[in-house]
């Protein structure tokens, strides 16, 4: 007898995303699609820096900057949080915890900015103090499980978030973090021009340190192309696992093979979580769980 299994893991992914965004206080827009919600949650997760253990690397510029020693206590606190997987929320921008906020420098260049002050200066809302006109920022790039400490700069610096000098520092210390295509000549852009391009989420090739690089590719909606690709791959993985479960239900849920028990005519399986390389699936008639490994992206 053919098994009838009701599943729609892509819809389940969207339901999980909606639940998480709702808990964060995101109301959404009427025109939002499943991908829009996924991109919003993905950007929030990246912006607030997942609390996992990171390897920390320092640029030559930050080591030589006198501010590195002047702010040693605050820098050490942040480095400890990065290495031990503790939250960095106190050092974030207050805007960063708003689910729909778009951090232009992070989205287009992959660079975080952390407010450089010690935890004992934290105010009532839990964020470290940031005196107007005297606040310093620690610029960080996160790739995988590595945190790259780029530079310490004054928050009041004009055109700070659009200054190509930051790309130059990253490229000088860790050139592997940038896409550097051959046979393309990049332009030289002023901070004002970059600010204008970012207003429209424009893509551009820029000359940095004698070579051409592409900062992160963006869609016109202000979403990194890599996020779009991640969503497509994830949906394809979910459909593949769905097909696998349909053909091998008893291997995923061996208890369903018992002849002593009567089961509903249609078996319903839901996606209830994602853990590393595994999708967490649940049989709705018994609430039993199983883990389905998915192919790496």
Report the pLDDT value the prediction gives residue 134, as an integer from 0 to 100.
85
The Cα 34–Cα 282 span in angstroms is 22
Q: What is the CA radius of gyration of the chain?
A: 23
Q: Residue holding tokens 């607030």?
A: 48
Instruction: Give residue 2's pLDDT band: very low, low, confident or very high (50, 70, 90).
Output: low
pTM value is 0.91
Report the pLDDT value the prediction gives residue 267, as an integer from 0 to 100.
87
- Dihedral Cα 275, 277, 278, 279, nearest 10 deg: 80
Show me where the domains of the chain are located.
4-20+227-293, 33-216
pLDDT over 80 at 257, yes or no: no
Report the pLDDT value the prediction gives residue 291, as an integer from 0 to 100.
95
Question: What SS3 state is found at 110?
Answer: coil
- Other CB atoms within 10 Å distance of the CB of residue 181: 11
Report the pLDDT value the prediction gives residue 263, as an integer from 0 to 100.
66
Report the pLDDT value the prediction gives residue 30, as an integer from 0 to 100.
83
pLDDT over 80 at 103, yes or no: yes
């Amino acid at each position: 007898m053919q098994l009838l299994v009701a599943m729609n893991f892509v819809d389940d992914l969207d339901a999980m995303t909606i639940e998480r965004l709702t808990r964060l206080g995101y109301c959404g827009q009427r025109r939002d699609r499943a991908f829009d919600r996924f991109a919003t949650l993905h950007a929030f997760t990246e912006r607030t820096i997942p609390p996992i253990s990171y390897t920390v690397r320092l640029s030559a510029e930050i080591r030589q900057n006198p501010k590195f020693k002047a702010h040693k206590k605050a820098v050490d606190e942040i480095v400890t949080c990065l290495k031990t997987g503790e939250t960095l929320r106190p050092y974030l921008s207050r805007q960063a915890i708003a689910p729909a906020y778009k951090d232009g420098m992070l989205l287009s260049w992959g660079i975080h900015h952390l407010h450089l002050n010690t935890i004992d200066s934290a105010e009532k809302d839990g964020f470290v103090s940031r005196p107007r006109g005297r606040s310093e920022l620690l610029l960080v790039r996160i790739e995988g499980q590595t945190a790259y400490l780029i530079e310490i700069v004054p928050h009041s610096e004009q055109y700070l978030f659009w200054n190509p000098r930051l790309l130059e520092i990253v490229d000088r210390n860790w050139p592997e973090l940038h896409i550097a295509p051959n046979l393309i000549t990049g332009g030289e852009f002023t901070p004002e021009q970059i600010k204008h391009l970012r207003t429209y989420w424009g893509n551009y090739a820029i000359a940095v340190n004698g070579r051409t690089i592409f900062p992160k590719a963006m869609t016109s909606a202000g979403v990194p192309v890599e996020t779009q690709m991640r969503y497509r791959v994830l949906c394809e993985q979910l459909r593949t696992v769905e097909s696998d479960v349909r053909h091998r239900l008893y291997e995923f849920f061996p208890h369903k093979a018992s002849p002593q028990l009567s089961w509903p005519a249609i078996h319903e399986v839901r996606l209830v979580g994602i853990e590393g390389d595994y999708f967490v699936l649940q049989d709705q008639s018994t609430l039993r769980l199983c883990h389905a490994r998915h192919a790496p992206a």
